[in-house]
């Protein structure tokens, strides 16, 4: 028999006509540093207490996860779930574990209490250091564009960071509250990635999900900042839908997703043109790819590993883009542009691209933002795009560039 700490507790499923008041927000309110929190459009998860880590060895990641889930089930857990983060470098150790105690509730967006106002962050004396500086980043973009015109590669995603240092301890629960309540229909997470380190953020991009035989991927590529002026905001959205540069960038990513998923599916539907999705700070070109899985033995995590990294976070050709990133970015991406999510012993799960995030370590936050660079890219515009993407997290901590 499983012990009380080994039992996952599940709130009643969401009823669109009668949403469960407080079920999801109670998990958001219950988060404490060291817990594992993940909110998706399908569910809200909060794991706490001792966990069974997924080991790092030479076996493929999905095999290691399956073995860890099997061990948890053999130890008495009736419905074990793995939750955590996978780094950009697939050879680096992942931060995945099977928690002993897991609470699951309906999605945040179905909880009426998510609409309640959240406190505005107080003025903080953040010390902000860009790595690299905007001018250096723009020069890196220009160099990459020049190499593309020479035919070396067709796309690369280049990132930059902001290092924020606080004189006071970081209030991670308050940051998570503001991120979740600002975009409750997205993917919000706070996950431990090491001793006293937490990956926290709010991503708009689903890498892949699996429910039974049904597979969904939602690649995003091609972006523009939102405007507080309604007319200008609509104009920017319409311009993005017709942008030759952004449509090309998006098509490269969608084609890569199609090619990666096709061997695993009997049917795959790929819309001919993208639509738009919006966050609080950005418009994105979006395509929802749906399919039917060929084998029930192919888990959501196996599909995620087949897809990662897509051209949306790396570039194409992948090997060349990785080299350009290593040559250009003066930092280790770590879990940025990796994957966060959950998976169960049946193979179902949701795995999300790790963007709009920061890593908290002590009193320091490292924020990440990247832009897809193609031959038509302009260094100033790409630098401005990364600045706009930083706004998601800067607003959550009361900091400004």
CA distances from 142 to 132, 223, 288, 375 (A): 14, 19, 32, 10
Q: What pLDDT sits at residue 13?
A: 44
The whole-angstrom separation of Cα 399 and Cα 165 is 11
Catalytic residue list: 155, 205
User: Which residue has better confidence, 400 or 286?
Assistant: 286
Average pLDDT value over all residues in the chain:
91
13-49 pLDDT per residue, tens: 445 445 568 999 999 999 999 999 999 999 999 998 7
214-261 pLDDT per residue, tens: 999 999 999 999 999 999 999 999 999 999 999 999 999 999 999 999
User: Which residue has better confidence, 117 or 371?
Assistant: 371
Token reading at 141: 């973009």
Confidence of residue 393 (pLDDT cuts 50, 70, 90): confident
Q: What pLDDT sits at residue 8?
A: 41
CB-based contacts of 393, cutoff 8 Å, min separation 6: 179, 201, 356, 357, 358, 365, 367
Which residue do the tokens 């749906």 mark?
Answer: 290
CB-based contacts of 33, cutoff 8 Å, min separation 6: 172, 173, 190, 198
Q: What pLDDT sits at residue 4?
A: 30
Q: What pLDDT sits at residue 18?
A: 52
Against a cut of 0.85, is the pTM above it?
yes
Q: What pLDDT sits at residue 97?
A: 96
């Amino acid at each position: 028999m499983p012990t009380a700490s080994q039992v996952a507790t599940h709130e009643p499923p969401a009823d669109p006509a009668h949403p469960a008041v407080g079920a999801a927000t109670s998990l958001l309110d219950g988060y404490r540093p060291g817990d594992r929190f993940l909110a998706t459009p399908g569910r809200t998860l909060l794991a706490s207490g001792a966990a069974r880590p997924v080991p790092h060895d030479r076996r493929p990641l999905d095999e290691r996860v399956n073995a860890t889930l099997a061990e948890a089930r053999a130890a008495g857990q009736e419905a074990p779930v793995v939750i955590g983060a996978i780094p950009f470098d697939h050879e680096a150790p992942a931060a995945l574990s099977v928690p002993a105690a897991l609470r699951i509730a309906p999605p945040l967006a179905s909880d009426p209490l998510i609409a309640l106002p959240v406190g505005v962050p107080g003025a903080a004396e953040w010390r902000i250091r860009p790595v690299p500086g905007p001018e250096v980043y723009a020069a890196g973009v220009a160099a990459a564009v020049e190499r593309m015109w020479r035919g070396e590669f067709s796309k690369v995603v280049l990132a930059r960071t902001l290092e924020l240092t606080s004189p006071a301890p970081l209030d991670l629960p308050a940051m998570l509250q503001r991120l979740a309540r600002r975009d409750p229909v997205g993917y919000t997470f706070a996950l431990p990635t090491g001793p006293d380190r937490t990956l926290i953020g709010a991503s708009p991009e689903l890498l892949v999900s699996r429910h039974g035989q049904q597979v969904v991927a939602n690649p995003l590529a091609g972006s523009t900042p939102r405007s507080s002026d309604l007319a200008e905001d609509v104009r920017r959205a319409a311009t993005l839908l017709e942008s030759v540069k952004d449509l090309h960038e998006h098509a490269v990513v969608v084609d890569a997703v199609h090619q990666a998923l096709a061997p695993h599916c009997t049917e795959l539907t790929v819309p001919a043109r993208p639509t738009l999705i919006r966050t609080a700070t950005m418009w994105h070109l979006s395509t929802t790819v749906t399919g039917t899985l060929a084998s029930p033995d192919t888990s959501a995590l196996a599909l995620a590993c087949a897809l990662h990294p897509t051209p949306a976070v790396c570039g194409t050709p992948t090997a060349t883009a990785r080299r350009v990133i290593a040559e250009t970015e003066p930092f280790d991406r770590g879990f940025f542009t990796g994957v966060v999510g959950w998976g169960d012993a049946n193979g179902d799960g949701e795995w999300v691209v790790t963007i709009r995030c920061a890593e908290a370590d002590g009193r320091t936050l490292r924020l990440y933002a990247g832009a897809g660079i193609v031959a038509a890219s302009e260094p100033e515009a790409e630098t401005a795009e990364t600045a706009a993407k930083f706004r998601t997290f800067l607003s959550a901590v009361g900091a400004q560039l």
